[in-house]
Amino acid sequence: MSNLTKQTVLSIYHWTDTLFSFTCMRDPGFRFNSGQFTMVGLDINEKPLLRAYSLASANYETNLEFLSIKVPDGPLTSRLQNLRVGDLVYIGKKTTGTLVVDNLLPGKTLWLLSTGTGLAPFMSIIKDPDIYNRYEKIILTHTCRFADELAYQKYITVHLPNHEYIGELIRNQLIYFPTVTREPFKNRGRITDLIKTGELFERLSLPSFSVDNDRIMLCGSPRMLCDTRKLLNDIGFIEYGNSASGHYVVEKAFLG
């Protein structure tokens, strides 16, 4: 238990019947890098039941935020989704994860490719001023089945551009590209298909992926990760591994 702290839940927001987020207090000694994850859990039968969750909050924010799916019979999420303000949750003291910019070789454009709750670590990253010092452009793509699952869409497009401290960086350097796969929407289709056909780059008026200029982070469904890794490998991109920086990084912690 020495590797955990108990923190008070401050808010809960239900995006859909299958998706929710919550915030909790942050221990003064808790530190993390943008894009990392930690363990989150509850007391179940007098024992902590823990799962890995990416931090959706910025590394400088006072509170911690997490994004989660709802699994009706899930040992943890079936209980987490019923959180109320004032409840206590376990938060791990240690953080880890591959989605940190130091794992990437220097480049000009950072692509953050996400599906579903894979958006969470990228919410942390796009709020980090240091990221905008490292890259000329940051492109965040988020693919879901339905439009109402595009969590944080209004926050990204309305609130962040007007943020007191990072608003100018957001307006000048961040590009947000949401897409859905199962209903009509302004952007339609799987992100890998949009990359293969070139539609993604055409819609954004940007050149296709270049080993020299583009760096990529991936977080989402196993299928998206597998397909995108093959696509990137085929055009000469090298994945981060064995402590050697790469052209792209993949978060594998949530595949089990």
pLDDT tens for 5-51 read 999 999 999 999 999 999 999 999 999 999 999 999 999 888 899 99
- CATH number of the 4-92 domain: 2.40.30.10
Edge to edge, the sheet with strand 214-219 lists 174-180, 137-144, 109-115, 214-219, 248-250
Buried b (16+ CB within 10 A) or exposed e, 155-184: ebeeebbeeeebeebbeebbebbbbbeeee
Instruction: Summarize the confidence of residues 94-100 as an average pLDDT.
Output: 95
- CATH number of the 101-250 domain: 3.40.50.80
- pLDDT number for residue 56: 98
Alpha-carbon span 197 to 110, nearest angstrom: 20
For 192-249, write each residue's pLDDT tens digit. 999 999 999 999 999 999 999 999 999 999 999 999 999 999 999 999 987 789 999 9
For 135-181, write each residue's pLDDT tens digit. 999 999 999 999 999 999 999 999 999 999 999 999 999 999 999 99
What is the CB neighbour count within 10 angstroms for residue 46?
Answer: 5
How is the chain split into domains, by residue range?
4-92, 101-250
- pLDDT number for residue 145: 96
What sign does the dihedral 98-192-139-145 (CA atoms) show?
Answer: negative
Stated pTM of the model: 0.96
- Would the pLDDT of 255 be above 90? no
- pLDDT number for residue 1: 59
Question: E strand or H helix at 202, and its extent?
Answer: helix 199-204
Q: Using 50, 70 and 90 to split pLDDT, how confident is the model at 256?
A: very low
Residue 88 token pair: 């206590």
**Domain 4-92 matches domain 101-250 at the CATH topology level:** no
Percent of the chain, pLDDT > 90? 91
